[in-house]
Amino acid sequence: MVLLDERDGRYWQLNATGATIVQALLEGATPRQIADGLAAARPVTPEQAHADVAALIDHLTRTGLVVTAS
């Protein structure tokens, strides 16, 4: 998956896990639901899955590619 920041023309390439996270967000899943799903489907601990999901969302939010609902 590739994300385009239309403000400055930068592209962000996501790996398979990143793409899974973004797709799940677009479908309305919560970060907890996404992390739980990753932990169930991949060789990663629940704690690491939650940390990874939070880190990606934080990074995308700081770059302005994702806006969190208030």
* 35-47 tens-digit pLDDT: 999 999 999 999 9
What residue segments make up the domains of the chain, in order of their start? 2-62
Rounded to 5 degrees, what angle do the CA atoms 30, 34, 54 make? Answer: 80
How many Cα atoms within 13 Å fall on the side-chain side of residue 44?
17
What is the average per-residue pLDDT within 51-59? 95
Summarised one tens digit per residue, pLDDT across range 1-46 is 898 888 888 898 999 999 999 999 999 999 999 999 999 999 999 9
**Which pLDDT score is estimated for 5?**
86
The pLDDT score that the predictor gives to residue 70 is 61
Over 80: is that where the pLDDT of 69 sits? no
